[in-house]
Structure 1
Amino acid sequence: MRSLFGYRIFIVLCVFLAFFSGIAAAEETRTFVDDVGRELILPVNITAVSPSGPLAQIVLYSVDPDLFVSISSEYSDAQLKYIDPRVAALPVTGQFYGAKSTMNPEEIMEMNKELGIDLVLDIGEAKSTMKEDLDKIQAQTGVNFAFVTQNNLSDIPGSYLTLGELLSEEEQCEKLSTYTSDLLSEFAVGMNEIGDNRKSMIYVVSVDGNSVYLIGSGENSYHGEVINYISDNLANEAVTASGMGDEYTMEDILQMNPDYIIVAYDDEHEYYDAIMNSADWQSLRAVQDGNVYEAPYGPYSWMGGPPSVNRLLSMIWLGNLYYPDVFDYNVDDRVKEYYSLFYHYDLTDDDLSELMEYAKPAGASSQGSATSTGTSAYANQSPAPLFALMAGLGVAVLIKRRSH
């Protein structure tokens, strides 16, 4: 009898243990549905994340650099100044989508043995095959893949709220979401006030002799979204979806004659110098008025490349540069705020001067904002040499004659 009683007690204890073990196991995992409808079973606390590409790498860093256990691509020397050395030294797991796709399922499986990856994070525009693609690589690797939409500027506030839930980083993601939502609201009001009185501009990606590459306009120009929003982009509707831009001739540029020219950054300032020093460009209004600027870079270009949350900096910068009476704030303060929040980096005044060496009106101090007088942004800059101006005018006249 005692033996039977003891056996029953043993069974009851086993049932209770199994029950409470099930509760404990349930508490250690949770369900999350990503932005392409994939249901994932995830750890309650995500501590080890691998970005699947450059956009994910930028956005994940803004949430919490400590989450990284790998990076999608190595940082350049120019970027390292702003990046946590621990993150910069992590192994490279590659990029899943895009022309530079290098992510290999077998390598992910091998790396996961050492890294213990909780999640591979993909961020960007949802492709038609994304659900199937992510299901396939997740099945191959045994590692969770999650996708969060962040394509257009309007996607950014909501995407951070989704990331807060996904990564259990609600507090930081709420800050980032609120910041971007407030910024977009500020610009919606400001651009409504500006109305049709937008400054015209071109964004020069590169210059190669008579060939000039511009970021195109149009609703499908992902790389040109900020340009199209805050200015009259004189480039035609974008043909290429890449950040390399579409090809134009010097004759095309002379006919556009924009108010402002923004030039993509390069280490030697080659494209900026080509525009400022070449006789071919001197007849343009933007050059004569000194309204030629090179986009700041560090750790990413403010204009894009890749086009992620770093584009918010171009809004802050160009909004005040073009329309100082409407976007009346101290650019330096706003840039420092952004770097602290998104890059976890406190900019010094020297850092800021270096970043914006070719991006501020002449005579603007390292602590000042763009001029609010409505006059030429480079009013204090030395005018182009007379021979260059005359040569440029000669080119324009010759082109005009040929066009007839």
Structure 2
Amino acid sequence: MKTKNLLAATALTVLLAGCSSDDKATPKQETTKEAKTTVEEQVVTDQIGREVTLPKEIDSVVVGGILPYYSTWYVATNSTKEIVGMHPNSYNAAENSILAKISPDILRADTSFVKNGEVNIEELMKINPQVYIEHANDEATIDKVTEAGIPVVGIQAIDAAAAEPLATFNSWLELTSQMTGTVERANRFLAEGKKVQAQLDEKLKPLAEKDKPRAMVLFMHDDKTITVTGRNFFGNQWLNATGAVDVAEKDIQGKKEVNLEQIYAWNPDIIYITNFTQTQPQDLLEGKVEGQDWSQIKAVQDGKVYKIPLGIYRWSPPNGDAPLMLKWMAQQNHPQLFDYKMEDEITTYYKDFYEYDLAADDVQDILHPSSAAAK
């Protein structure tokens, strides 16, 4: 699929079980180049170049290890009733998100088809999906589900070549529009993302490199492990797009476990914490992590440790709130340049784009997500 100049988005073994930094694997099975269809069928080309025959009308979808994808379906279609199954990690994020209020059908999705981290075909067949969406790198699952007779659409977790953080989500959105025939909301999102990035670029362009904060994205964390992200990952794209320097960019590709001494050496001005970990800013700011002394790091000393918000999905990987993520992170990086009120930006976006009136408490829940969303 071709995505040009679409605005600039996250993982994992836990993130996208699937946002790994290397998405070049191609499943073993081959598909017929000249697929035959009936009037009730369509052929789409997935993101690993496979032609997949699907029903014209899709009303039952299961989302596997490509964790954020269910939110893409919602953005494209304004519906989640078609999501009949999803990975337990996706369900946990959905359950703790505003999407559970906006489109409560998402909470009806079955999670029993994932057993011990793997797809159980017998349980999957009970759900009877018309299409299974999977991370392009998970060759074993794609093969197994395809052999069971269920069409599988492979999705790439990240466009590593893209400088813009929205490129990946835009590509998912375009593919979903092809599958569903829904284009209006997708086109609106693409236009909004492009507009927001252009607004940011105009204000950030005059900045010299020395005027940009040095930032780090803490991806996974507990008292035993510290995992950060670097180049070819969403955190790096977000930072570059919002006027920051990624301290891990030169040393890390994708995501990697590091020790605290490495973070001392980087000494970031700002630390962003994703929603793939239960760690909250207060845990670092107040020295609550046993065996770890974060007090020597400039970001902690200055109180610039932020939990990345969670709206219809976690804001760190591809998601429908991406224009808001751009605004939010740009404001943390350069509050003197971006003086809008994020509460108002979020409320307006949800009203205009999702046609949903957020309560004040809803907005605060988005901006300050609980640790439960990462369990």
| TM class by smaller structure | 0.5 to 0.7
Contact 2:95 / 2:107 at 8 angstroms: preserved in 1? no
The alpha-carbon deviation at position 79 of structure 1 amounts to 0.9
Which of residues 22, 34, 47 in structure 1 aligns to 2:59? 47
CA separation of 1:284 and 1:56: change in aligned 2, threshold 3 A: closer
Pick one of 94, 106, 128 that aligns with 2:122: 106
Aligned 8 A contact 2:275 2:308 in 1: yes
Classify the secondary structure of the residue corresponding to 2:85: coil
Per the alignment, do residues 342 and 151 of structure 1 end up closer, same or farther by CA in structure 2, a change over 3 Å counting? farther
User: Does structure 1 conserve the Cα–Cα contact (< 8 Å) formed by 2:218 and 2:272?
Assistant: yes
In structure 2, relative to structure 1, the CA distance for the partners of 1:208 and 1:38 (3 Å cut) is closer
CA spacing shift, 1:343–1:52, aligned 2, 3 Å:
farther
Q: Percent identity?
A: 20
Task: Give the length in aligned residue pairs.
Answer: 316
Cα shift readout 1:129-169 (whole Å, capped 9, x = no counterpart): 85x9646632x222222234452332332432221111122
1:233 deviation in Å? Answer: 2.0
Any conservation in 1 of the 2:193–2:322 contact (CA below 8 Å)? Answer: no
CA distance 1:79–1:299, shift in 2 (3 Å): farther
Instruction: Tell me, yes or no, if the aligned pair for 2:315 and 2:322 is still in contact at 8 Å.
Output: yes
Determine if contact 1:259/1:291 at 8 Å carries over to the other structure: yes
Say whether residues 1:75 and 2:85 are aligned partners. Answer: no
Matched, 1:303 2:316: yes
Q: Distance in 2 between matches of 1:80 and 1:207?
A: 21
User: Whole-Å Cα distance in 1 between the matches of residues 369 and 84 of structure 2?
Assistant: 36
Alpha-carbon distance, 1:317 to partner: 0.8
SS of residue in 2 equivalent to 1:215: strand
The aligned residue for residue 261 of structure 1 is 271
SS in 2 for 1:193: coil
Letter in 2 for 1:137: V
Shift of 1:283: 5.2
**3-state SS, counterpart of residue 357 of structure 2:** coil
SS at match of 1:37: coil
- From 274, 277, 282, give the equivalent of 1:272: 282
Distance 2:369 2:154 in 1: 37
Residues in 1 aligned to 2:276 and 2:54: alpha-carbon distance in whole angstroms:
42
Amino acid paired to 2:342: V
Q: Which has the larger radius of gyration?
A: 1
Q: What is the Cα deviation at residue 108 of structure 1? A: 2.5
Q: Which one of 110, 119, 129 corresponds to residue 91 of structure 1?
A: 110
C-alpha distance 40-290 of structure 1, shift in aligned 2 (>3 A):
closer
Structure 2 CA distance for aligned equivalents of residues 262 and 194 of structure 1: 21
Unmatched runs of 5 consecutive residues or more in structure 2: 1-36, 160-164, 371-375
Give the residue type in structure 2 aligned to 1:72. Answer: H
Alpha-carbon shift at residue 339 of structure 1 (Å): 4.4
Q: Is the contact between residue 199 and residue 260 of structure 1 (CA under 8 Å) also seen in structure 2?
A: yes
Structure 1 residue 203: Cα displacement: 2.9
Q: Residue 158 of structure 2 aligns to which amino acid in structure 1?
A: N
1:346 aligns with 2:353: no
The 1:281/1:33 distance shift into structure 2, 3 A limit, reads closer
Contact map agreement 1:262 1:293 (CA 8 A) in 2: yes
Work out whether 1:318 is the aligned partner of 2:329. Answer: yes
| Preserved contact between residue 207 and residue 271 of structure 1 (Cα < 8 Å) | no
Deviations 1:69-116 (A, max 9, x none): 2223233696165313332122226469xxx7422333323331xxxx
The answer for the alignment partner of 1:393 in structure 2 is none
When normalised by structure 2's length, the TM-score is: 0.68
Matches within 5 A, 1:319-398: 319-339=330-350, 345-356=356-367
Q: How far apart are the structure 2 equivalents of 1:322 and 1:300?
A: 22
Instruction: Work out which structure has the larger RCO, using CA pairs closer than 8 Å and 6 or more positions apart in sequence.
Output: 2
Following TM superposition, by how much is the alpha carbon of 1:187 offset from its aligned partner in structure 2, in angstroms? 3.8
Deviations 1:283-304 (A, max 9, x none): 5443443323333345544334
The structure-2 alpha-carbon separation of the partners of 1:70 and 1:56, relative to structure 1 and needing over 3 Å to count, comes to same
Moved more, 61-70 or 258-267: 258-267
Pairing partner for 2:145 from 137, 150, 153: 137
Partner of residue 47 from structure 2, selected from 13, 35, 44: 35
Structure 2 counterpart of 1:200, one-letter code: R
Q: Does 1:172 align with 2:185?
A: yes
Instruction: Give the one of 217, 227, 231 matched to 2:230.
Output: 217
User: Scaled by the length of structure 1, what TM-score is found?
Assistant: 0.64
Letter in 2 for 1:155: T
Partner Cα separation in structure 1 for residue 198 and residue 57 of structure 2: 33
The separation in 2 between residues aligned to 1:52 and 1:288, in whole angstroms, is: 41
Q: CA RMSD in A?
A: 3.9
CA pair 174-67 structure 1, distance change in 2 beyond 3 A: farther
> Which residue number corresponds to residue 159 of structure 1?
172
Structure 1 residue 199, shift from structure 2 partner: 1.0
**Structure 1 residues without counterparts, runs of 5 or longer:** 1-24, 360-404
Task: Give the 3-state SS of the residue equivalent to 1:302 in structure 2.
Answer: coil
Partner of 1:203: 217
Q: Give the 3 Å change call, closer, same or farther, for CA 288–31 of structure 1 in structure 2.
A: closer
Deviation at 1:120, TM superposition (A): 1.7
Tell me if the contact between 1:217 and 1:228 (Cα under 8 Å) persists in the aligned partners.
no
Q: Displacement, 1:26?
A: 4.0
1:37/1:315 CA distance change after superposition, 3 Å: same
- Assess if the C-alpha contact under 8 Å between 2:312 and 2:320 holds in 1: no
